[in-house]
Every structure is written in structure tokens, then in C-alpha cells.
Amino acid sequence: MAFGDYPKEYNPAVHGPYDPARYYGKPDTPLAQVKIGELGSWISRRNKSPQAVAGAVSRAWWRWQHKYMQPKRHSMAPFYQIIVGSMAFFYFINYGRIKHHTNYKYH
């Protein structure tokens, strides 16, 4: 599969118009329904190649876009999500400098 091609599993006659937020591979048990004892086998069934990871990130991006950014009347939720996400990211990368400024109670 080259960059920009449809997934191998996609068949326009069966699936209809292409949806970038949909996984066209063989369905598996959702993570929420996996029992603790089956977690190792569930993880081993995942495709961990860079293309598969990029596809999963792309599908998550498009699901987020379809739910929050592209409706006709969207709310301020995506902007708040971006703000909170960037605040958490910058807190994480600056934690080494911030942790020295804690208030100690001496007694």
C-alpha cells in the first residue's frame, strides 16, 4: 500500500463511499469488552507496523473531525480540547523546571 492509496480491505462495491474514519479490516473484540486474562492475546493480534499505527491515528483524527469540527453547528468543545491538551503538553515538558517551585511546609 503506497501513501495515499485506499486500504487493501476496502471494496467500493461492498462498502460504498470511502469513509476515512472507518476501519475496513476484519472486526475484532473492542478493548472495552476484553477480559484481563485475554488481554495478552488481544494485544498480540494487533498489527504494530508503522503503517497500521499511522492508519489508526488517521482514523482517530477523522472521527474527531467528523464529531466536533465538521458538523453544521459545532460548539466550542474542540477549541477547549485543543487548549486543555496544549496546557497538559506544556506542563509535561516543563515539569522538570516547575517541580522545584513547590511550597514546602517546614515544622
Reported as a single tens digit per residue, the pLDDT across 50-103 is: 888 988 999 999 999 999 988 888 899 999 999 999 999 999 999 988 888 777
Reported as a single tens digit per residue, the pLDDT across 11-29 is: 999 999 999 999 998 888 9
Within-domain flag for 49 = yes
Domain total of the chain: 1
Q: What is the pTM of this model?
A: 0.72
Within-domain flag for 66 = yes
Query: ∠ at Cα 53 (10, 70), nearest 5°?
Result: 65
Within-domain flag for 84 = no
CA distance 102 to 56: 39
- Are the CB atoms for 35 and 41 separated by under 8 Å? no
CA distance 27 to 39: 16
